[in-house]
A = this chain, B = another copy of it.
Amino acid sequence: MRQAGRYMPEYRALREKYSLIEICKTPELALEVTLQPLKFGFDAAILFADILLLLEPMGAPFDFVKGQGPVVHEPIRTRAQIEKLRVCDPEEGLAYVLEAVRLIRSELDGKTPLIGFSGAPFTIASYLIEGGKSANYRLTKQMMWSEPEAWQMLMRKVSEVVRRYLRAQVEAGAQAVQLFDSWIGSLSPADYEAHVQPFVREILQDVMTLGVPVLHFGTITSTLLEAQRDAGGTVIGVDWRIPLDQAWNRIGHDYAIQGNMDPLLLCAPPEVAVARAREVMRLAAGRPGHIFNLGHGIIPQTPPDTVKAVIEAVHAYTHEG
C-alpha cells in the first residue's frame, strides 16, 4: 500500500531532482523507487506509478499542483467531452509503465514478487469529473444520478482502459494486480450496486482469467464488502473500520483478505504500532490467505523505523504461529 514515497528520505532526495510524473515516466527511476522500500523486508514489491497516469493517454491531461493534489486541466462534465475520450491502448499511451514492469521483474526475478495496479473506474471517473480531489463528489454523483447515459459511457470507457491496462501489466510480468477503488466509500450500497459494481465486475472477471492473484481494494467499505467480493477479485482489501475477523467472515474464507491496520498507527509509539499489528495477526488466526497490510496509504510523516519494526513483528508472529 503505497510502500514507496514521501516517508522515505531516499525517495525525497530523488524527488528534489525529478517530479513524480518524471519518475513514473522513466523506467529506471520507477525501478529505483520501487526497490527502495524493500530494505524494510516487505514480502512483495509494489510498482511505483500513479493511478491517474491513464488520464493523459485518454485525452484528459493533468498536473500535480503543490498543496492541491492532482488537477485535471479540463474536467469532463459533458457528453461531448466523454465522447472525445480515447479508449487508449496501454502499449501506446502507457508503454513506460509496462517497460518499468519488465525492468523491475528482470531485477527482482526469483526474489520478490511484483504487484501492479490501477485505479478503479469510479475513483478515476471522480477525478475526471471533479477535476481533482473532492470532499463530497457532488459533480460525480450529479452525473451518475442526472445523466445515466453519459455516466455509463464514461464508466465503460474508463473500465475498458483499466481492463486493458491491468492485463498488459500482467503480460509484462506483474505477478499480481490490485484494483484501487479508494473512494467508493462515499456511495450508499444501492448506488454502488447500480452505478459502479457492473463496471468493476467486467474488469475483474476478465483479469481473473489470467490466473494471477487479483486484489480488490476500497476504503469505508464495511457495508460494501459482499458487493465488492461479488464484483470480483481473489483478495479483498479492507480498512481498519471493521475488525479483520468480522470482515473475513462476511467475505467468506474461500477468499483471501488484505489488511487492515490504521496507517496512522505507524505514527504512534513503535510499541503501540507493533501491539496493534499483532492484534490484526491474532484476528487472522493463522488462516491461509491473510496478507498483512495497512488499511490505506502510508502517510508522509511516518517514521521509517516504525515501518521496519511492524514488518519484523508481523514476520515474527508468523513464525511463532
A residues neighboring B (CB under 8 Å): 136-138, 141-142, 145-146, 185, 187-191, 220, 222-223, 240-243, 246, 262-265, 267-269, 272, 279, 299, 301
The residue of chain B having its C-beta at the shortest distance from the C-beta of A147 within the complex is B269
With a cutoff of 8 Å between Cβ atoms, the chain B residues found around residue A272 in the complex are 145-146
A185 touches B241 (CB 8 A): yes
Chain B residue nearest in CB terms to A279? B190
Top 9 A-B pairs, shortest CB-CB distance: A145-B268, A222-B222, A188-B240, A141-B264, A223-B242, A222-B223, A145-B272, A146-B269, A223-B241
Alpha-carbon distance A82/B242, docked complex (angstroms)? 31
Chain B residues with Cβ under 8 A from A240's Cβ? 188
Q: Which residue of chain B is the closest to A263 with respect to CB atoms? A: B136
A299 B220 Cβ-Cβ under 8 A: no
Query: Nearest Cβ in chain B — how far from A16, in angstroms?
Result: 24
List 7 A-B pairs, Cβ < 8 Å.
A136-B299, A141-B267, A141-B268, A145-B265, A145-B268, A185-B220, A189-B243
Whether A264 touches B188, Cβ cut-off 8 Å, given contacts A146-B272, A220-B241, is no
CA distance A310 to B299 in the complex (A): 41
